[in-house]
A and B are shown apart, each in its own frame.
Chain A
Amino acid sequence: MPAADLPFGLPEVDYSEYSNRQLIAVPLVVLLVALLIISGVWLTTGAPVNLGVEFTGGTEMRVAVSGDNAQQQIQQAFDPAPSAIQPVAGEETYILTFGEGVDSGALETQAEDAGFTVRSIDATSASFGAEAQIQALGGVVVAFVGMSVLVFAMFRTFVPSIAVVLSAFSDIVVPVALMNVLGIKLTLGSVAALLMIIGYSVDSDILLNNHVLRRQGGFYESAYRAMETGITMTLTSIAAMVVMTVVATAFGIGLLSSIGLILVFGLTTDLLNTYMLNMSLLRWWKFEGVNR
């Protein structure tokens, strides 16, 4: 069997050396661990992921502070003190996060009294945030179900379709678990990214299925060709998102950095899922499943 000739000088992989069980075990274990983490967090905190101020309520304020000891000045200026202080690269600006139930007008006054310049205020009250939570969750569920229906309608065969749906599911779940592990909070940007993952993840899966199901030629030949293209696609997107995340984080553009970061998680997971989970399911179906 020929080995996959991967782009970017990646080491060659010969799938025929590994059994389906070996291949599928890795992504399934990762998925299982991710689900365990999420359910653990869900049981202890009541939400599947750490929620940011847009969902729990709270205030995010950007202030410019001049002079030395900016952090100390900030600590003294506010009552209650901010729960998080994030400096913005290249400026004397800080992004302060306050918990729920603090009046943003009062915070603005405190900042001005301390001689800070208020650059922006983003305040959400708890009940508005609760509504946003329901909408965000609903949005992800609707998008996922819609995607599943569409995938089944396009392929009209069970195993290849469920392979796509399962790997998309894992592509969403693993980033969420990673957020929990790394202490990253869910923002509106991350919700957008999770929805984008549904779109991106399906890209490479559809490509793989399409090559295997609809082309002449052997399984390995088709699959390897799909891999060459698919890996280029995913790596290109990862590169773009890594760079965007780094730049946006440095400049404190929260929306762009959270979209970028979650997409990096999701796309990386997608490499694993497409070329181990989806690939082995397809191989099983092609060589054994069809004859049953």
Chain B
Amino acid sequence: MADEESTWDRIKANWRVVLLVVILLASTFALFSPTPASGGSAASTAGNNTTADSGLTNIEYGLELSGGTRIQAPLVGVHASGVEIPNDTSTSAVRSTVAANIENATASDVRVRYAGEYGDTIQQTTIVEVTAGNVTAAELDAALSEAGYPADGAVDRVSDVTQRTAVSILRQKVNQAGLSGGSVRTVGGDVVVVEVPNANQSEVRDLVESRGQVLIQAYHQNENGTYVRTTVMDSDDLRQVGNAQQTQGGQGAEVGVVVAEDSAQEVQQRFVDTGLAQQGGTECRYRETPNQTEPCILLVQDGEVLNSFGVRETLAQPMRDGTWADDPRFSLTTGNLSTAQEVAINLRAGALPAELDLTSNSMLYIDPSQSERFKTDSLLAGVAAVLAVSGVVFARYRRIEVAGPMIVTALSEVVILMGAAAAIGYPVDLSVIAGFIAAIGTGVDDLIIIADEVMSQGEVSSQRVFQSRFRKAFWVIGAAAATTILALSPLAVLSLGQLRGFAIFTILGVLVGVLITRPAYGDILRALLTGEH
């Protein structure tokens, strides 16, 4: 008579199988539930666009399986840390002296940052950084000691603060460009990876290639009568950047901006000093006769003048009165809407502190039609591999109660891995699929060890015999698992981009196997071989 107690005992004795079933159910839920399970916040934001989401499952596909462009490149720049700068030296003096000692750099390429807290990053010592191409760490080191600012050492990469800023600016740019589902991250320390689904290579290149430095400059005559440019404001001076819109009743487009309170007075003063805010406003003839014009406002992006325009009296007068700074609004006009959008993005994100080194990059573009093909083809390759494994295992054991559970157990590892990928929103790529296949491979190997060990030396007569044999088998499996994890761990941290997913999921597969599925297989095999339940 099977009373309550014996059912409970049975569950207790087979708790590994129960655990496997529970985890399998959880994985299935993560895979197929209509809303992503907990931890799926990343998945749900990316899921708003149509292709990163697969529709049938909650699996988020990576670039190779969803189509799009990926650019990987380091940032241009070198930096020296622990630089000793005398207290009375101004930053601009340091910049120009250092630049003078380096062939390929100008003062604007040199950045001095004193120790302190910058966002989440704490910088311990004073750093001097050069973000121009073709400058080596050795050159910077030499330039610093020549200038009398000895450094502890220089390295051929940008500083941490610069890298973080660059990544967050790139992220803003990608998100604001209407390219949904894009991501920016770093791998292997200093390689920046920009991934944008559904975009072709030129779109993404254009977006990340430029520094995106937008300057609003005054074009005016100095005391000597020669025309010079003076920067009156840049993105740092702005509190708010409006949306680009078509100019009302005219051609061209404009971006409304609001200047930050603490900058408003200075900006206003520069307008007055440069003559932009002169009586009656100015009429700009920069394009026609640049040597004979009243002061102009130039909208400059990465050194290129996008537009030039004069100042209306309605703006000039409050500036002269000093009342403009109380409500410091300004409108930037451009020739067309797309330029205005670009300017708005760049103003909002700010200028990149360093460029991406596109001479040392790796670029991948996958057409959506190709990614669909990859999806079905890699699935076929995986299924073929599983069939091959099943064939060999059946040929070897010729006993359905041994080989059948083996295949089912190995496949359940894949289901758990897929569920994990869906739950954490890890983008599934070809390399992750390779990891799934590797998991089946190592999984079945270990199941063979268990089966052989358990069935060796005649029939499995009792629980105790089974337990002792199972434990012996597990020593080998544990040792093998540890080596595989160790062997693949370099890939999980290196910047060999696409292999990361492979390593992570193979390691995860080995862990799931050793901790969950393989012990459960042992229980199943015991039940089938000893006849005890």
Residues of A within 8 A of B (CB): 7-8, 54, 62, 91, 104-105, 108, 117-125, 127-129, 131-132, 135-136, 138-140, 142-144, 146-147, 150-151, 154, 188-189, 191-192, 195-196, 198-200, 202-203, 206-207, 210, 214-215, 225, 228-229, 232-233, 235-237, 239-244, 246-248, 251, 253, 255-256, 259
Contact = CB atoms under 8 A, between A and B. Distances in A.
A207 to B, nearest CB: 5
Contacts of B484: 196, 198-200, 202
17 contacts: A120-B364, A123-B361, A125-B362, A131-B360, A135-B188, A150-B486, A200-B441, A200-B442, A202-B480, A206-B483, A207-B480, A214-B472, A225-B456, A243-B387, A248-B381, A256-B437, A259-B502
B201, B367, B378, B388 — most chain A CB neighbours (10 Å): B388
A244 B385 CA distance: 5
A136 B491 CA distance: 8
B378 A256 contact: yes
A128 B72 contact: yes
Contacts of B431: 192, 255
Interface of B: 72-73, 188, 201-202, 205, 359-367, 369-370, 373-374, 377-378, 380-382, 384-389, 391-393, 395-396, 430-431, 433-434, 437-438, 440-442, 444-445, 448-449, 452-453, 456, 472, 475-476, 479-480, 482-484, 486-491, 494-499, 502-503, 506
Report which residue of B359, B382, B396 has the largest number of chain A beta carbons within 10 angstroms of its beta carbon.
B396
A235 B202 contact: no
Contacts of A139: 490-491, 494, 496
Contact of B363 (A8, A121, A142): A121
A155 B116 CA distance: 50
B363 A236 contact: no
B476 to A, nearest CB: 5
A121 B205 CA distance: 14
Contacts of B395: 8
A108 B360 CA distance: 19
B480 A203 contact: yes
Contacts of A233: 444-445, 448-449
Contacts of A210: 475-476, 479
Contacts of A202: 479-480, 483-484
A187 to B, nearest CB: 10
A237 B448 CA distance: 11
A191 B496 contact: yes
Q: Is the interface of B mostly helix, strand, loop or mixed?
A: helix
B496 A236 contact: no
A256 B367 contact: no
A143 B377 contact: no
Given A120-B365, A188-B496, A143 B476 contact: no
Contacts of B378: 248, 251, 253, 256
Nearest to A151: B483
A239 B388 contact: yes
Given A139-B491, A203-B483, A239-B391, 13 more contacts: A105-B202, A121-B365, A122-B364, A124-B361, A131-B360, A135-B495, A140-B490, A147-B487, A199-B484, A202-B479, A235-B392, A242-B388, A251-B380
Contact of B201 (A105, A138, A142): A105
B490 A142 contact: yes
Contact of A143 (B380, B433, B487): B487
Dominant secondary structure at the A interface: helix
A62 B201 contact: no
A100 B302 CA distance: 29
A256 B433 contact: yes
B362 A128 contact: yes
B448 A240 contact: no
Contacts of A247: 377, 380-381, 384-385
Contacts of A255: 430-431, 434, 498
Contacts of B506: 196
B476 A207 contact: yes
A232 B448 contact: yes
A138 B490 contact: yes
Contact of B434 (A150, A192, A235): A192
Nearest to B386: A240
A160 to B, nearest CB: 12
B453 to A, nearest CB: 8
Contacts of B444: 233, 236-237, 240
A146 B499 contact: no
Contact of B369 (A104, A119, A191): A119
B524 to A, nearest CB: 19
A282 to B, nearest CB: 15
Most buried by B among A150, A198, A225, A243: A243
A124 B495 CA distance: 14
A2 to B, nearest CB: 14
Given A192-B499, A236-B448, A154 B434 contact: no
B499 to A, nearest CB: 5
Given A119-B367, A120-B370, A255-B434, A127 B359 contact: yes
B361 A203 contact: no
Contact of B452 (A91, A132, A232): A232
Contacts of A253: 374, 377-378, 381, 430
A146 B479 CA distance: 13
Contact of A195 (B385, B430, B475, B488): B488
A229 B449 CA distance: 6
A188 B385 CA distance: 21
Given A128-B360, A244-B384, A135 B480 contact: no
Contacts of A195: 487-488, 490-491, 503
A19 B486 CA distance: 35
B527 to A, nearest CB: 22
Contact of A198 (B366, B453, B487, B496): B487
